[in-house]
Amino acid sequence: MNETVQTAVIGVTGYAGAELARLLLHHPHLQSKPPVFAGRVDARDAERGGVPLGEIHPELANSHGSGKLVQQPFSWELLEDLGVEVLFMATPHEQSRQWAPEALKRGIKVIDLSGAWRLNEAENRAVYGFEDEGSAIAVTTQAEAVYGMPELFRKQIATARLIANPGCYATSVILPLKPLASAGLLDLERGIVADSKSGVSGAGKAATAKTHYMYAADNLSAYGVFGHRHTGELLEQIGLEREQIVFTPHLLPIPRGILSTIYVHFKTPQTKANVMHVYREFFAGSPMVRLYDNALPQIQYSVRTGYCDIGVQLDAGGKRAVIVSCLDNLLKGAASQAVQNLNVVEGWSEAEGLE
């Protein structure tokens, strides 16, 4: 177990980047080594050494000395000179495709919050249209990537050099379904329906016509039907064929949070006690999953926390169930899951700095 480690963040200007900075600045093991922030800096700001973090995110000003920290002009030489050992990349997918291999070549571990390295199957990656698809360096890098969901891959993450942080929607669907699929309870011939709803911050900081206030407020809309980028993660991590699940994301008129309502059939009648036993066995030692026995989760319970909340209700015959999972798309769906992965890599308590 390492006492501390030098981290760096590329992409601190975004919503997930802000949450990542906040978590790292408050992390008990990182007080002596605050993160390095690097990115695009114009010539005027470069002359003063970078952009103060307090100007980028005023809510972080003077938090654990962060008022003195700046986003410096990015260079690999900067990271090496400052002894960066773990690099968080809250960058666009194509940027991560370019920079992750270079970081690994320089001996820097990478926790990538983008979708650049999440998918093992070329058929599933096709939705991203990566320009380097099939190149030798892309194939080699992908082979080294570990899907960054500690509840599934804790052992592999502990020794990984490249961790591909899961998608937010994907996390909210994989965690409630994987235990039931692994136990062989699901009747996949009857199919699964995952109806997921997310706040507008899930679309990122760049404004679009559909995240504009006039569109999103007082509205609820479906999008990415049969083609959302997170679908491939569900197929690969749960072990499904494409025709066995319908996943439909929706845009909620709230700032943050995800609620997924998942409809399943069981092969044989089940009791709620048996289903909850399966969940408890699977998530034993997983501190960032909360199971609800007597109620169903709500977004307001999980927002601004690092938890994924899961609850289930069965019909009278025990052959059908409705599962509800909730999480904060910027935390368990992004930044806090990334820090959870850091904790596993460094041998710290998995929930360190997250509860």
Can you read off the two tokens belonging to residue 99?
């920079």
Q: What span, in angstroms and rounded, lies between the C-alpha atoms of 3 and 20?
A: 20
pLDDT category, 65, cuts 50, 70, 90?
low
Question: Hey, CA dihedral for 133, 138, 142, 143, is it positive or negative?
Answer: positive
Tell me which residue of 322, 344, 349, 342 sits closest to 23, measured CA to CA. Answer: 342
Residues with catalytic roles: 168
Is 325 strand, coil or helix?
A: strand
**pTM (global) more than 0.85:** yes
Rounded average pLDDT over 75-80: 96
CB 345 within 8 Å of CB 153? no
Q: For residue 302, what pLDDT is reported?
A: 98
Q: What is the overall mean pLDDT for the chain?
A: 95
Tell me which residue of 234, 228, 256 sits closest to 176, measured CA to CA. Answer: 234
How many CA within 13 A on the CB side of residue 256? 21
pLDDT category, 61, cuts 50, 70, 90?
confident
Q: For residue 2, what pLDDT is reported?
A: 84
- CB contact set of 21 (below 8 Å; sequence gap of 6+): 9, 12, 35, 37, 53, 57, 60, 66
pLDDT category, 67, cuts 50, 70, 90?
low
- Domains of the chain as residue ranges with CATH: 7-165+334-346 (3.40.50.720), 168-327 (3.30.360.10)
Q: For residue 216, what pLDDT is reported?
A: 82
Amino acid identity at 201: S
